[in-house]
Amino acid sequence: MDTSKIQAKFKELYGAEGAVYTSPGRINLIGEHTDYNGGFVLPGAIDKAIYCVIKPNGTNKVRGYAPDENPDKVALNSEFGLEEADKPKERWAQYIFGVAREMAKKGRKVPGFDIIISGDVPLGAGMSSSAALESCVGFALNDQFALGFDRFELALTGQATEHNYVGVKCGIMDQFASCFGKEGSLIRLDCRSLEYEYFPFDPKGYKLVLINTCVAHMLGGEYNERRESCERVVAAIAEKHPEVKLLRDASLDWLKEVSSKVSAVDYIRSEFVIEEIQRLLDTCELLKKGDYEAAGRKMYETHTGLSLKYTVSCPELDFLNETAKECGVAGSRVMGGGFGGCTINLVKDSLYDGFIQKATEAYEKQFGIKAKVYDVVIKDGARKL
């Protein structure tokens, strides 16, 4: 993204140039609904990011501007103080405010500043634009005011912002990927210990592409239901194996031991999670070998499990996944919580054009919806430009 325009706008609004920072959105190659079960995820930072231009203003207030916001729905400008009672009404500004407040709670008070926020992370496509915004602002404030936070603390600050100022009880994966992203690598994050390891992801001859169904089936408490299923199974297994605190700690054999004590629905959901944790570990070994075809087959296995066992897919996602299979795409699956959103696809260069044409045309014919296509490349995390 060309940042010269937002730098020029910053100078027009605030009378001087500011420093430019960026933090990326993310994909997750494999490992879905494993996070709250203490398992692993495998995200990577991408080449679509949030950018900010920032400069201290010598006051105790923030002056912000967001040119990408829809002027018919929300103000582009926001001005607010940095005390708890000063929370701005604009949602985009609440992220900035929340990051500054979370830093203050840790004894690093942030003085006033001017800021412009822009970016090219598609909204509503499951690439975590909100985590990118939090990480971008956090990295910028930390650098501008020499606050001394490390990247892990910045990721936790972003997560706390979501919890306390936006009202989303998210996990740590999105902010972690945005802060720790590394070009040509995915991050295996242990959601129990928060230890992490980089695995090579440089699939020469392949493209990584997301296809957005542009649907979101709102199914109420479906997410919580699945979490509760897992918790009930953990409680049953722990009666005999008290060391089991999360499904991560359980084996398929131990799950079979409680098959008569739990419902069929709870059993099959938990079976998917245990299998998915192992599937992710197997995929990491395949990435080390550079075997992207085999890694792609693991992605298909994940989609099948999410569709038939965890039942978080939908007809639109299943259609795109089946189309990918018909076109010879190496790997395809629903990415994210499910019930809509994107499929993530690992596609040989030679098959790319034909796949995209067939997938988008057939999808529109079947559902009357134009799917959106996003090519992504794995890039570095939060940084100053």
Residues catalogued as catalytic: 174
The dihedral region occupied by 119, where left means phi > 0, alpha psi between -120 and 50, and beta the remainder, is left
Q: Which tokens hold the place of 17?
A: 């140039």
User: Tell me, what amino acid is at 22?
Assistant: T
Tell me phi and psi for residue 234, to 5 degrees.
Answer: -60, -45
What's the token pair of residue 123?
A: 């909204």
Strands 113-119 and 61-65: parallel
Largest CA distance in the chain: 70
Residue 140 in contact with residue 19, Cβ under 8 Å? yes
Q: Under a CB-based contact definition with an 8 Å cutoff, are residues 154 and 138 in contact?
A: yes
CA-CA distance, 330 to 293, in Å (whole number)? 5
Contact 114, 360 (CB under 8 A): no
The C-alpha atoms of residue 90 and residue 157 are separated, in whole angstroms, by 20
Tokens of 32: 């879905």
The dihedral over CA atoms of 108, 109, 112, 118, expressed in degrees to the nearest 10, equals 50
Question: In whole angstroms, what is the distance from residue 135 CA to residue 272 CA?
Answer: 32
How far apart CA 264 and CA 352 sit, in angstroms, is: 40
Residue 253 CB-density burial (10 A; 0-12 exposed, 13-18 middle, 19+ buried): exposed
First to last CA, the chain: 12
Those residues with Cβ within 8 angstroms of residue 13's Cβ, 6 or more apart along the chain or in another chain: 63, 65, 114, 116
Altogether, the residues listed in the chain come to a count of: 385
